Structure 1
Amino acid sequence: MINKDFLKKLTILYVEDEELAREKLAKTLKRLFKTVYLAPNGMEGYLQFQKLHLAKTPVDLVLSDINMPKMSGIEMLEQIRELDSEVPFIFTTARSESENLLKAIELKANHYILKPIDTEDVILKSQEVCLKKYYERMLTLKNEELEKYLNAIDNIAVVLKFDENGDIKFANSAMIESLEKKEEEITNTNIRELIHKDISKDMIDDIFTTLLEKRQFKGELKFQNIKEEPFYTNNNIFEIEENEKSLFISIGFLSTEENLEKREFKRKVIKNIQEHKELLAKVKKEKEEIQIKLRKYENILPMLKNELELEKKKSQAKLQQIKHYENEKLNSNEKQDGILKIKNSQIDDYKEAMARTKKEKDLLLEKIHHLEEDILAKKVDIEKKEETIEVKNKRILDLQDVIKHRESQLRELDPKALLS
């Protein structure tokens, strides 16, 4: 199956002296490949490759005819191999010539295709050789990366390899230096003899039980050097296969008192920052809740003021009506006693209504007064909270400066300590 996404990443050089055949196949190649360079003979093909090589433009594949004027495909391949010994190469030829094919194999040609050319066959074989080269290059890069990691580990970690009985097969330079022994003294030793005598036999047996059950061990181990002085390592121990044999590899990082102090300091600072962040979030939430309540009160206050104005208007209307009734009473001496009593009763009712209105008015004024005091108190509380937030923010910034200053001091004292 043609992998179009992969082919679109590739650059190809196609060399063919027959113009019609070259242009026909080139149309297909240009649709599939990222870039296609063309040449009409071996000499032009070599010069094109040389130009790209000097410009550091990688060519992922050379597709070329064998029999061409000026310079044959075999001669061109010889010249190209002096510039690049690995670039994939596919020949197209009208006849199978054993001498040419043997020479092509000698020059590390990857394939040859007989004419007339099957376009799909060309694409598939081009993809095949380029994928092989791609995987080889990725493997090389991974191996180089692994080698760098191993070198880095060798510089900062202590490494031991041992078998299921605990017999040591390898110790890296950091472990040899920590134990203060010669390499041959360590490789002829059982790991149990290197572990500090304070560590119980049951604990060591538990570690081996874990490993033999195909599980990984993670934890701190206490070793002793030739002077029986202890040193601690944070270890990862797991099974590996080497030369078709199962071994266990222990990769540990030294835990010095200074490193432990640094880690504890960082842990406390981080915890302190987290606590301050949580407090800040809590204060912020409280502030938002107070602001919501304040907005609610601010919305209610105009409503209460409107109600008060309305009650004032009603009271004034009732007072005017009372005055009207009082005037009618004074000017209506001839009215019947019954009517007078009714009016007096109505006046009493209105007076009671007025008293209730006044009482409601006083209650509303008192409620407004309390609300205004509450709003003022909330505003003061918000200001205090904002001041608290500013203080906490300053403390967090100060703590961060202390951390940076402390780390700077630690780098000056021991740059390698920060890696642990």
Structure 2
Amino acid sequence: MIQHARRLLLSLGLAFAMAIGGVAPAAMAQVPYLQLIPQNSSKYASIVVDAKTGEVLYAKRADAPRYPASITKVMTLYLTFEALSAGRIGLDDRVVFSPHAAAQSPTKLGIRAGDSISVLEAIQAMCTLSANDASVAMAEKLGGTEQRFAALMTLRAQELGMTNTNFANANGLPNTRNLSTARDIAILSRAAMRDYPQYYRFFSQVSFNFRGRTITNHNHMLSNTPGVDGLKTGFTNASGFNIAISGVKDGRRLIVVVLGGPTRITRDRVAESLLLTGFDVIRRRGLGEDIKVAQNFFEPPQLAAATEPQMAQGDTGDSLSVRLASSPPPARASQIQIVEPRSVPKLSGKAKAQAGGRWTVQVGSFNSRSDAREQLSLVEKRFGRHVDDARAVAEKDGGKYRARFQGMTEEDARDACKALKAKKQPCVVMAPGRG
């Protein structure tokens, strides 16, 4: 019944357009919910893309800079999937929460500093709860620090063709330097499902259980809109209500991005309307019609006439000849290596004076990297203040994986090992060059 009513809205909108504008039925399909965007909105932007071909079926302000808010986490997840695919981490590996990660603003899991969750739980928390603390903890695990990871995010964005994007953090919390566009978010969404389809299912998860509580997904369209199976929502006061979705119908997949909605409900209605209209365009083109999505008809005059940044050459915003500027995944990650340690050295005290220590504390030798990482996580949890300035590394040495804390001064290494031994935790202090 609901679907029938929406189709009726589409038909009525088309008839009205014909009545006052002389638009031929075979030329345009209308987007009935765009009139819900306030006339004074300066945040709105949107795009509809064919996921298979990259063809842009509709674009409005698609290259205007916007705050992506929590959609930022899609890039954090992309790099997480990349690390999983490359074998650098596993779903059962531990993600330790630093004081910085634990101190992130809600929405968050509320994990205490020194505690840890699995990589799987971190992914689920980012996809469903949009957990800001889990995002930063994962960033620190992969990049050493959130700042370093944000640089990696931006570099990867450039490699994917997201030419108007800069990431300043891993979770999308307010930062004037954390900017993207509707087009770039579509590129990222397409890359996530294209490059790591084995992990796309996490974007479809309606809920998951975490330590005795059920966490539900912020993306209500997963449950309310047939065919929608991902990706991510976002909101800050500065950004408005954002969403990137993907949906499938009759074997065709579309990506829709809506930024700057005035309310969640309005944002979802506009996104659903764009999705349905996109599918209608594809269906009618399959029947031989030369059709595109009408861009401005239902938008308020002030919004439609608002000044936009200059688009790329040939991009008129509503032309079907526009192609998504996405590139194949690069052969290598980037010149910024995704490092294994949870954190890079935070130089302090004598470490600062010596421009970084060169001593190592080894806390175990194991047959697998995952066991070595688990040991590192346990030591970090129990003896955090003694190893906070060190790099935690599961280092392969012959046929074994050595769990080591590197980058310490001699004094700090000996003090740490003394504290560990006092609690019956075996350890070995290793001088520079010993290995």
Normalised to the residue count of structure 2, the TM-score between the two structures is 0.19
Larger Rg: 1
Q: Of the two structures, which has the highest relative contact order with CA contacts closer than 8 Å and spacing of 6 or more? A: 2
Normalised to the residue count of structure 1, the TM-score between the two structures is 0.20
Instruction: Tell me which protein shows more strand as a share of its residues.
Output: 2
